[in-house]
Amino acid sequence: MKGIIFETFIDTIKLIPFLFVAFLIIEYIEHKITKKSKEKIEHTIKYGPVIGSILGAIPQCGFSVLATNLYATRIITLGTLIAIYLSTSDEMLPILLSQRVNIKIILLILLTKVIIGILFGIVIDWLLKRQNKITKNNIKHFCHDEHCHCEKESIFISAIKHTINIIIFIFIITFVLNSVIYLFGEDNISKIFLKGSIFSPFISSLVGLFPNCASSVMITQLYLNNIIDFASLLSGLLTGSGVALIVLFKTNKNMKENIAILALLYTIGTTVGIISEILTLF
Structural domain boundaries of the chain?
2-280
Average pLDDT, the chain: 78
The tens digit of pLDDT for each residue in 131-187 reads: 766 555 555 555 555 555 555 567 777 778 777 877 777 777 777 767 766 776 656
Going from the C-alpha of 116 to that of each of 7, 194, 236, 256, 272, the distances in angstroms are 32, 24, 14, 24, 9
Going from the C-alpha of 268 to that of each of 94, 218, 228, 261, the distances in angstroms are 24, 20, 19, 11
The tens digit of pLDDT for each residue in 82-121 reads: 999 999 877 788 778 777 888 998 899 999 999 999 999 9
Identify the pLDDT of residue 119. Answer: 95
Q: Is the pLDDT of residue 217 over 60?
A: yes
Identify the pLDDT of residue 111. Answer: 93
- Virtual torsion, Cα 97, 121, 232, 220, nearest 10 deg: 20
Whole-number percent of the chain with pLDDT over 70: 75
More confident residue, 261 or 226: 261
Identify the pLDDT of residue 30. Answer: 59
Q: Is the pLDDT of residue 6 over 70?
A: yes
How confident is residue 282, by pLDDT bands cut at 50, 70 and 90? Answer: low
Whole-number percent of the chain with pLDDT over 90: 21
Confidence (pTM) = 0.75
Identify the pLDDT of residue 1. Answer: 63
The tens digit of pLDDT for each residue in 171-200 reads: 777 777 677 667 766 566 656 665 656 778
Identify the pLDDT of residue 270. Answer: 94
Q: Is the pLDDT of residue 216 over 70?
A: yes
More confident residue, 9 or 122: 122
The tens digit of pLDDT for each residue in 34-46 reads: 455 455 545 556 7
Continuous H helices in the chain: 2-13, 16-31, 35-43, 48-56, 62-72, 78-87, 92-98, 103-130, 139-146, 155-184, 186-190, 200-208, 213-224, 230-239, 244-251, 255-280
**∠153-158-163 over CA atoms, to 5°?**
165
Identify the pLDDT of residue 135. Answer: 59
